Amino acid sequence: MKLTFPDYFKEFSCIADKCTDTCCNGWDVVIDGESLEYYRNLGGDYGEKIRSLITVDGDGDSIFISENGRCPFLLDSGLCDMYINLGHGCLSRTCRIFPRFTNAFGSRAETGLSLSCPETARLIFESKNPVTFTTEDTDGGILPADFDPGLYFTLLKVRKTAINILQNRNFSINERLCAFLRYSELVQEFIDASEYEGAESIDASPLFGNTEYSPSRVKRALKGIFKAFEPMEFIDGNYPSVLSEAQTVDMQGFTADGILIEHLAVYFLHRYFITAAYDGRLLEKAIFAAVCTVVIMRISASRNDDFQTVSQKFSKEIEHSALNMEILVKAIRKSRCFSVENLINILSEKEK
């Protein structure tokens, strides 16, 4: 199998008790079938203890009973009691794999690290150089997946261009994000017409520049975008007011390094862009990447918090809630506030 991953991927190692926002807090751990079977048959007092801490949630999934949002195996020291007693191989699949994610395409797969993990966030943002990607042959077999192979191979080429746009440091990061959106819009037109070769041969160079800016349009679009977050569920009860402040913040004073924003946008691109091979909705993935980047920039500006921490917390609140992801994707599909024109206006605000 061919596996593609970003350059920081192999550097990851869980920092456990040194983690500032452990993944064992705030989420329910869903227990996969194989692990459940193992726990059911585990003998001794520890087997009894595990079974006493399992319940079934409203979706019918077996989960560990959390205590005030904390996994019952999370010790005050920040270490995992089950890991200490049984070892890494006995953890449920979610715990063994996190923060790694994989998008499977038959004999190929794309893997990466989730930004919601603070150690991943450190790895993503620490380099000053553009992120690179490597493809290696691995021992893994074919991973079943329902996708369009022709579109997948086109998307591999198109994604290279999209990454080049976001990493073109001759332009400001906002200009690059605008060009990325315009490019994705053009690619989508070719995908809709099943003209994959046309998508591969788009010249991206004229897509830079030509920003558009209407203050009233920006205000209306931001109102609609932030409204989409209102019905979401949040781990941090204060997150609705964080978002509310971000909606109206004046971005003129925002000074985060463009390299950090570039790394963030490339992270979202790497994680979601290629999944258009499953459903053909490439522009939706590009808009998702741009919206998440815009909202994180605005939160960072309004709170004067460091960009890395704001990005990590946003990822934990949004990317790791199936409900929140569904709400945001539905809003992108339905609301004109998320149009490419509106996002370009929002991104052009700082250029004026």
Where on the chain is the footprint of ligand SF4 (CB under 6 A)?
Answer: 14-16, 19, 22-23, 98-99, 117-119
Alpha carbon distance 23, 91 (integer Å): 14
Q: 25 or 335: whose CB is closer to ligand SF4? A: 25
Task: Report, in Å, the least distance between residue 132 CB and ligand SF4.
Answer: 23
For residues 153 and 189, give the distance between their C-alpha atoms in angstroms, rounded to a whole number: 17
In the bound state with ligand SF4, the residue whose beta carbon lies nearer, of 15 and 329, is 15
The DSSP annotation for 152-168 comes to HHHHHHHHHHHHHHHT-
Nearer to ligand SF4, 123 or 199 (CB): 123
Query: How do strand 108-113 and strand 100-105 relate by DSSP bridges?
Result: antiparallel
From residue 135, give the alpha-carbon distance in Å to each of 54, 140, 346.
39, 13, 35
Residue 8 vs 183, nearer CB to ligand SF4 = 8
Backbone angles phi and psi of 240, in degrees to 5:
-60, -40
Minimum gap (Å) between residue 48 Cβ and ligand SF4: 26
Q: Which is nearer to ligand SF4, 96 or 157 (CB)?
A: 96
Length of the chain counted residue by residue? 352
Phi and psi torsions of 87, nearest 5°: 95, 165
Work out how close the CB of 99 gets to ligand SF4 at its nearest, in angstroms, rounded to a whole number: 5
DSSP, collapsed to helix, strand or coil, labels residue 55 as strand
Task: Give 270 or 320: the residue with its C-beta nearer to ligand SF4.
Answer: 320
**Minimum distance from residue 187 beta carbon to ligand SF4 (Å):** 34
> Residue 300 or residue 315: which is nearer to ligand SF4 going by CB?
315
Cis peptide before 130 (omega within 30 of 0): no
Distance CA 186, CA 200 (A): 11
Q: How far is the CB of 101 from ligand SF4 (least distance, A)?
A: 12
Closest contact distance (angstroms) between CB of 71 and ligand SF4 is 10
334 alpha-carbon distance from chain centroid: 21
Closest approach, Cβ 14 to ligand SF4, in A, equals: 3
Indicate the residue among 14 and 177 with the shorter CB distance to ligand SF4: 14
Using an 8 Å Cβ cutoff, are 271 and 140 in contact?
A: no
Q: Which is nearer to ligand SF4, 6 or 118 (CB)?
A: 118
State residue 136 phi and psi, 5-degree precision: -125, 150
By beta-carbon proximity to ligand SF4, the closer residue of 66 and 302 is: 66
Q: For residues 144 and 187, what is the distance between their CA atoms, to the nearest angstrom? A: 26
CA distance 104 to 86: 30
189 half-sphere exposure, CB direction, 13 A CA radius: 8
Least Å from the CB of residue 217 to ligand SF4: 39
- Name the minimum Å distance from CB 188 to ligand SF4: 34
Nearest-10 crossing angle of helices 239-248, 215-227 = 170
Helix axes 33-41, 44-52, angle to 10 degrees: 130
Q: How far is the CB of 267 from ligand SF4 (least distance, A)?
A: 15
| Cα 161 to Cα 183: distance, rounded to the nearest angstrom | 9
